[in-house]
């Protein structure tokens, strides 16, 4: 098998009208390292066929189910079959295709969260950990260059000992019962059977949690949570607040809402140490504000030569040319592909290439959901953050 051929993708989900499926494809295909070769785009065979036609795929590589895709792809010569399975389905269809793809010998890219519930997550953790296949969980926001700059500055001690983390993810799109208005995204994201028992906190709170640990370099040890249902008639939370205690003694506050009327997607993080602090927000994602006592605030910009190796490795354009959400996805896919290529060629990947979320991030995210739900339900709010595997 050629070690330098494009990696062939088999897509699970991403049928007609899919938001996240199109984003994944745009990110994966950006650098010419992947190509879409096959797909089981919907549980409805006609919809899967339609999406395959839209993407100009060979009809013989468009399947009615992911089971059929795995079975028939394995019958093809190794140079022709898919290499990577990308899964962009609702949360209740994460565990089964991921487990089967890994066992069949495919690498896997999975949209977060890891699974529908914590029990599935623990089982999947062992399946992935005991395999030699590579696994990417798309916590997209860790792909932004200036998030990587913040992470590296903190790793290098530029902020000193970290003592405070603020992270917030405010959205407003679920300010009313959109799930009753034939909005497919709202329907499944507010359905506990397809989304899981945590709504807003499982959907975007997990992103905020991952970003807090990723940037600060600290793991959460205890949490105190309150989840709310702001829109009457909704079965799961659409708003919440979590207090966090980190392993080094730092404290943190996490806020997530999908009912902050009029807001879009301005994920924001601030981290403070005993030497200085940083601030980043998605609506100005090419900037990182750095503050030190007695000095004017500094604005670090993407694409400049003074950034660290993590940001440099994940920047595509010169300063002043905006990069955004799709490029953040592309950074994760590119690093993932580079590690696969390095392994095939018997090479050691650069440390910067190995910087993408994996199974450890996935199970911590599911533990976060579990402990947030537990804390919300208990009168004594502080809950130890223990990750069972």
The arithmetic mean of pLDDT across residues 148-155, rounded, is 98
HEC profile for the chain? CCCCCCEEEEEEECCCCCHHHHHHHHHHHCCCCEEEEEEECCCCHHHHHHHHHHCCCCHHHECCCHHHHHHHHHCCCCCCCCCEEEEECCHHHCHHHHHHHHHCCCEEEEECCCCCCHHHHHHHHHHHHCCCCCEEEECHHHHCHHHHHHHHHHHCCCCCCEEEEEEEEECCCCCCCHHHCCCHHHHHHCCHHHHCCCCHHHHHHHHHHHHHHHHHCCCEEEEEEEEECCCCCCCCCCEEEEEEEECCCCEEEEEEECCCCCCCCCCEEEEEECCCEEEEEHHHCCEEEEECCCCCCEEEECCCCCCCHHHHHCCCCCCCCCCCHHHHHHHHHHHHHHHHHHHHCCCCCCCCCCCCCCHHHHHHHHHHHHHHHHHHHCCCCCEECCCCC
CB atoms within 10 A of CB 295: 9
User: In the prediction, which pLDDT does 380 show?
Assistant: 74
- What is the spatial distance between Cα 12 and Cα 126, in angstroms, rounded to a whole number? 22
Write the CA distances from 359 to 53, 61, 118, 140, 269, integer angstroms: 33, 29, 13, 15, 23
What is the pLDDT of the chain when averaged over all its residues?
A: 96
User: In the prediction, which pLDDT does 303 show?
Assistant: 96
Closest among 201, 249, 206 to 357, alpha carbons compared: 206
Instruction: Kindly report, residue by residue over 97-118, the tens digit of the pLDDT.
Output: 999 999 999 999 999 999 999 9
Instruction: Kindly report, residue by residue over 264-319, the tens digit of the pLDDT.
Output: 999 999 999 999 999 999 999 999 999 999 999 999 999 999 999 999 999 999 99
Instruction: Kindly report, residue by residue over 315-331, the tens digit of the pLDDT.
Output: 999 999 999 999 999 99
Closest among 297, 294, 293, 329 to 314, alpha carbons compared: 329
Confidence class of residue 1 from pLDDT cuts 50, 70 and 90?
A: very low
Instruction: Kindly report, residue by residue over 339-354, the tens digit of the pLDDT.
Output: 999 999 999 999 999 9
Instruction: Kindly report, residue by residue over 166-194, the tens digit of the pLDDT.
Output: 999 999 999 999 999 999 999 999 999 99
Instruction: Kindly report, residue by residue over 29-79, the tens digit of the pLDDT.
Output: 999 999 999 999 999 999 999 999 999 999 999 999 999 999 999 999 999
């Amino acid at each position: 098998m050629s070690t330098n051929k494009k990696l062939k993708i088999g897509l699970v989900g991403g049928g007609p009208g899919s938001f996240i499926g199109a984003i994944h494809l745009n990110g994966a295909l950006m650098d010419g390292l992947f190509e879409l070769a096959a797909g089981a785009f919907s549980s409805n065979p006609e919809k899967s066929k339609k999406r395959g036609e839209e993407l100009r795929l060979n009809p013989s590589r468009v399947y009615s189910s992911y089971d059929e895709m795995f079975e028939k792809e394995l019958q093809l010569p190794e140079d022709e079959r898919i290499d990577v399975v990308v899964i962009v389905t609702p949360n209740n269809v994460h565990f089964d295709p991921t487990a089967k793809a890994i066992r069949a010998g495919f690498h896997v890219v999975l949209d977060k969260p890891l699974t529908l519930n914590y029990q599935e997550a623990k089982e999947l953790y062992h399946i992935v950990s005991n395999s030699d296949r590579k696994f990417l969980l798309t916590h997209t926001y860790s792909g932004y260059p200036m998030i990587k700059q913040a992470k590296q500055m903190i790793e290098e001690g530029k902020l000193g000992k970290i003592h405070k983390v603020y992270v917030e993810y405010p959205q407003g799109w679920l300010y009313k019962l959109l799930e009753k208005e034939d909005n497919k995204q709202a329907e499944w994201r507010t359905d506990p059977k397809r989304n899981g028992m945590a709504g807003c906190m499982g959907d975007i709170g997990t992103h905020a949690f991952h970003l807090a640990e990723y940037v600060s370099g600290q793991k959460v040890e205890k949490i105190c949570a309150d989840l709310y249902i702001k829109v009457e008639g909704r079965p799961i939370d659409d708003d919440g607040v979590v207090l966090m205690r980190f392993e080094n003694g730092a404290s943190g506050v996490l806020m997530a809402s999908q009912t902050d009327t009029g807001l879009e997607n301005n994920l924001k993080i601030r981290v403070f140490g005993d030497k200085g602090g940083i601030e980043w927000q998605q609506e100005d994602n090419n900037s990182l504000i750095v503050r030190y006592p007695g000095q004017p605030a500094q604005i670090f910009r993407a694409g400049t030569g003074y950034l660290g190796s993590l940001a440099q490795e994940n920047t595509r354009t010169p300063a002043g040319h905006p990069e955004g959400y799709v490029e953040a996805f592309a950074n994760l896919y590119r690093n993932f592909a580079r590690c696969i290529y390095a392994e095939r060629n018997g090479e050691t990947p650069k440390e910067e290439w190995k910087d993408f979320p994996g199974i450890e991030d996935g199970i911590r995210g599911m533990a976060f959901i579990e402990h947030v739900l537990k804390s919300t339900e208990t009168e004594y709010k502080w809950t130890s953050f223990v990750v069972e595997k």
